[in-house]
Structure 1
């Protein structure tokens, strides 16, 4: 294969490249500043506390910072209920420093998002022929404008407090450095420190990071064998990090993967693929323009590969690497079964480069329209940009209720945990929303979804029911019955009429409500709170006898309608 690479830049050229790099960084920072606000505003100002799953990671980080170890309950079992080890350790730093951790966490997420977008702009410029070329600079600018039509990326990366910002930044850094090596002129460096950093950190961020780092590294070597040394070192670094982490997990937790893997991923691979295919199809049909962009990425990869064989040109290797990253992310989560969150959380890492085929197509169209008067061509481009932004914004706005629900769930958990601290004795709580409440409640929590409970996560390897919440096992519940099952995860309280969609054949927690054993040992109650608010709950009879608190109002099973048994 012809080794086509850009000529070595003289000193003046390198200085100009550095200036362009700083300018691209400023553009990335500006995009994040604008879109972070707009994504938050369009979602209905959901809060600054992050989502409930992020609160789980924060709870682990706080326990680590306070010297309790990697545990969900202080003094409880070692369990890795946070998927991202590296993100958990990063979040421990604000808790070590003291004060309100939310501002530092959001600041780190914003900075990582800037880094991810900056790498994405560099990749766009390189794909279009190099940042030093006019097309390259135009590609960077158009890519930045295209990101203004992807608010879902910013709500997930900046505001959710999940590891999305770190995960995306590392993937884009890896892709940026590999594409630079693939396009750079000789002599190539023997090692690339940013590349090694990204490759090492990816498996520490998520288990599938090893597939991303190794897959893209080996592809870079296949596209340009001359990069075998720096790219090969990156692959070895990723493999070593993955192996050492697995050994460390075995020594500390007793399992090679996070507990979330065992709680969420079914041993039934066909079921995973079926659920993952539904997830991918929902993305194709729900994310605006995805049905155009995904085939466009395939076309870009094919055209670039064909061009490398017939007529090599700058940017072709970068295009192939970027396409591999996009399809690798998309189909990895087909195999793993997808997710239940709004706005396709797992697919957000591809968003900084997702519109690249449209950008390249726009540049090609611009060249075709050269005979057209400048104002007319500019007007057509502006109209296309407005359509892109407005269609995406409307779709995002329609999802705001699902977005707000995730933030509100965490806030309700924090408030309810503080409220329950005032009871004596403090009950053990069986919860289905295990994040926000873990930040405030000082008693024992039992995660009925299994994310933070080893025995529950491993009870049923075959998961059936609601995606990522299908690990509940009734037999495990009855081995360790909690004192109280509160329903603070519901936005309202049922006073006059209490209805539960429960039946004995159900796969989740609601199957309990129809069991005679549960009805004999638990009493439906209302927990009265300030401001006339209340929370429905099921209280163990032995705890009710001990608590004797006027805020607990026994409702009786005759007040509960089990609609699933009708």
Structure 2
């Protein structure tokens, strides 16, 4: 009886402690909803801008143009300033729209010292907000920035318009500029209502997964959202979207813990990392992503899946991804923003799939180690959390999903997923073939190859695959007129050339990502140490290793890829992580020192992954990713200028057929042939460049079509043609983002700049 009473009292105390914990969490959330963060601000101290990492770009602003060299005021203030050198000065605060509401402050002086006044007009994102006078005194001009001023990067571009005049020394100047600053007028709360709603929803999910530790899970979710809120800086994705992605991703990882046991802390750390890492490493969008976006927009507008209206050319190889982009546009969304959010969400799916696959070979702790190893991979983050706009993350998720379905012997589901993989990238044919072979082998293993029952798994796998993919393939062949995409014909090279390029691509990948060599060593170790247990791991390792080997051989044969971050190998990264922890598991089977050494190797690999991360940073000046960001910004501005200043029928010729044609919304000749049937089907390479997709062009054909405009960056492909300079003249214009747009315009054409 006493024991029963003691148990009842203990249970009562436990319930009270549990209730007190929930009340404390509620009080914490309520307090955080009232507590303000420090107001965000950005200041350009003109004359003391700090380093310029590129023309017009500092650590604070971009596209700062239209000013003279630094001078020092002679009024005893020791103030550094710059005279404006043109009627318009521009500067852009990147992604600053994410920190509304704000006030813009400009400190300037007319400083003509003859008693005359001038005018100053302050505009933000091409919307005039204030017109005032300038005098011989330094004055401060302040204006409230309206919300949601359109800009493709969600930035705030400040334009200062002031007439120029000539000094007694003969210099042309406008106004003296001292400071341009943005400041939040209302500091954000530590946790807003959206965050609180997510905490409530996440806590409800936590009760499903944890029961006994639901309070800890809810506290971790609240803490994770709080961390992301505190460290949040202006970036492509708004905080509310990041908070949603964090919550959904964390709940998905918690769901996985029901199968692969681990406490709630590690999933929370992984979730925060996947959401936070792009703020450190930077977001990016590849120029090629805009090719799919252009096809998607034309599809939504009713023109079909075409690059140019009325021309059926298959210049994309990611049908399913293009349809997803079309869905984003259909609902009025920004494909750049939503594609980035989707790839971040897919990063959670990839980590979860990697852990689930690893759990078939190793203990739960090591399986989660595979997920951490993957999450620290630079190429993985580059094509998932950081964006890219490409289909790589979707393809990688589908690869993992097919492999897991095959291992579970869910043949019909595997066939459906394999078809989706093929719809995402033609390379999926390799996985489809591996899956079919695996289904045949499993059927034969269970029933004997001479029995009809041996074919049932293969038939169950193949029928849905064929039923989904064959109608699509027949449609695209009839629609575009060729059995293969136009990009296949555009990318040429002799077998020796391609293989040599592919070998270099593999070598560079292996020396820049530790997962490759570590996986090779781990597989060798595990096969030798665990050969006697091969019946336990043979199916998993055989399927995974077989696909890794086949896909690697394919990448080498096609010559690799030119894009940063070894895009073609990203789908293999989860599989390499799995193979590594499998090898380490056998290394630690001796217990004691062997186990400790195994853990040390895993931690060392994680540390080395961190060391390599800056190489794939979009914020690292001079990196390949940073260069691509600059390229897209430059081409986007050319496209926006063309859109604003040319008639809709204006024909342009572009060597980079992504951002420029997308923003221009003008018919475009793809000079390199990815989206041009004639150039792609030329019998041989015409350009001596060792770069896939950049080896064919036809200046005769391009100039015979009489494009109205040839951007300066495209001119080298046609400049040696005898008719080029006879028919085109060079022009410079001020772009809508402040930089100079250089074009070759066909004689007789003029454009009225807006």
Residues 330-341 of structure 1: pairs in structure 2 closer than 5 A: 330-341=552-563
TM-score scaled by length of structure 1: 0.77
**Mapped partners of 1:244, 1:479: distance in 2:** 38
Shift of 1:295: 5.2
Shift of 1:249: 1.6
Shift of 1:396: 3.5
Shift of 1:18: 7.6
Contact 1:277 1:337 in 2 (8 A): yes
**Mapped partners of 2:631, 2:263: distance in 1:** 35
- After superposition, what is the alpha-carbon deviation per residue over 1:348-367, rounded to whole angstroms, capped at 9, x for unaligned? 00111212333123323333
Question: What is the DSSP-based 3-state SS (H/G/I as helix, E as strand, rest coil) of the residue aligned with 2:623?
Answer: helix
Contact 1:512 1:518 in 2 (8 A): yes
Shift of 1:101: 3.5
Contact 2:525 2:583 in 1 (8 A): no
- After superposition, what is the alpha-carbon deviation per residue over 1:90-118, rounded to whole angstroms, capped at 9, x for unaligned? 11111111133444323332333322322
- Residue 468 in structure 1 maps to residue 693 in structure 2: yes
Q: Quickly say closer, same or farther: Cα 1:28–1:239, change in 2 above 3 A.
A: farther
Aligned pair partner of 1:281 in 507, 532, 554: 507
**Mapped partners of 1:32, 1:66: distance in 2:** 37
Contact 1:410 1:436 in 2 (8 A): yes
- Residue 262 in structure 1 maps to residue 489 in structure 2: yes
Q: Quickly say closer, same or farther: Cα 1:341–1:154, change in 2 above 3 A.
A: same
Aligned pair partner of 1:207 in 399, 402, 426: 426
Question: What is the DSSP-based 3-state SS (H/G/I as helix, E as strand, rest coil) of the residue aligned with 1:523?
Answer: strand
Q: Quickly say closer, same or farther: Cα 1:357–1:532, change in 2 above 3 A.
A: closer
**Mapped partners of 1:407, 1:344: distance in 2:** 17
Contact 2:373 2:606 in 1 (8 A): no
Q: Quickly say closer, same or farther: Cα 1:298–1:81, change in 2 above 3 A.
A: farther
Aligned pair partner of 2:613 in 393, 418, 435: 393
Contact 2:645 2:751 in 1 (8 A): no
Corresponding residue for residue 316 of structure 2: 82
**Mapped partners of 2:463, 2:622: distance in 1:** 43
Aligned pair partner of 1:438 in 661, 665, 672: 661
- Residue 533 in structure 1 maps to residue 739 in structure 2: yes
Shift of 1:36: 4.7
Corresponding residue for residue 57 of structure 2: none
Aligned pair partner of 2:417 in 189, 193, 198: 198
Considering fraction of residues, name the structure with more helix. Answer: 1
Aligned pair partner of 1:174 in 388, 402, 407: 402
Aligned pair partner of 1:60 in 280, 284, 295: 295
**Mapped partners of 2:294, 2:658: distance in 1:** 7
Shift of 1:89: 0.9
Unaligned runs of 5+ in 1: 1-15, 129-134, 182-190, 490-508, 552-566
Corresponding residue for residue 604 of structure 2: 384
Contact 1:421 1:443 in 2 (8 A): yes
Contact 1:29 1:114 in 2 (8 A): no
- Residue 146 in structure 1 maps to residue 385 in structure 2: no
Shift of 1:21: 3.2
TM-score scaled by length of structure 2: 0.59
**Mapped partners of 2:321, 2:706: distance in 1:** 32
Aligned pair partner of 1:513 in 712, 719, 723: 719
Aligned pair partner of 2:361 in 117, 127, 146: 127
Corresponding residue for residue 165 of structure 1: 393
**Mapped partners of 1:439, 1:121: distance in 2:** 38
- Residue 290 in structure 1 maps to residue 516 in structure 2: yes
Question: What is the DSSP-based 3-state SS (H/G/I as helix, E as strand, rest coil) of the residue aligned with 2:732?
Answer: strand
Structure 1 window deviating more from structure 2 (465-474 vs 106-115): it is 106-115
**Mapped partners of 2:511, 2:631: distance in 1:** 27
Shift of 1:435: 1.4
Larger CA Rg, structure 1 vs 2 = 2
Q: Quickly say closer, same or farther: Cα 1:17–1:457, change in 2 above 3 A.
A: closer
- After superposition, what is the alpha-carbon deviation per residue over 1:312-368, rounded to whole angstroms, capped at 9, x for unaligned? 442221011111121222111112221101110000001112123331233233333
Residues 362-381 of structure 1: pairs in structure 2 closer than 5 A: 362-370=584-592, 380=600
Corresponding residue for residue 343 of structure 2: 109
- Residue 71 in structure 1 maps to residue 306 in structure 2: yes
Question: What is the DSSP-based 3-state SS (H/G/I as helix, E as strand, rest coil) of the residue aligned with 1:470?
Answer: coil
Question: What is the DSSP-based 3-state SS (H/G/I as helix, E as strand, rest coil) of the residue aligned with 1:539?
Answer: strand
Corresponding residue for residue 20 of structure 1: 258
Question: What is the DSSP-based 3-state SS (H/G/I as helix, E as strand, rest coil) of the residue aligned with 2:664?
Answer: coil
Aligned pair partner of 1:422 in 640, 644, 649: 644
Question: What is the DSSP-based 3-state SS (H/G/I as helix, E as strand, rest coil) of the residue aligned with 1:207?
Answer: coil
Contact 1:338 1:346 in 2 (8 A): yes
Q: What RMSD, in angstroms, separates the aligned Cα atoms of the two structures?
A: 3.3
**Mapped partners of 1:145, 1:19: distance in 2:** 14
Shift of 1:531: 7.1
**Mapped partners of 1:533, 1:17: distance in 2:** 49
Contact 1:450 1:471 in 2 (8 A): yes
**Mapped partners of 2:503, 2:492: distance in 1:** 14
Corresponding residue for residue 6 of structure 1: none
User: Quick one: higher RCO (CA 8 Å, sep 6+), 1 or 2?
Assistant: 1
Contact 1:36 1:155 in 2 (8 A): no
Q: Quickly say closer, same or farther: Cα 1:420–1:455, change in 2 above 3 A.
A: same
Count matched residues: 486
Aligned pair partner of 2:456 in 204, 207, 229: 229
Shift of 1:294: 3.5
**Mapped partners of 1:125, 1:203: distance in 2:** 27
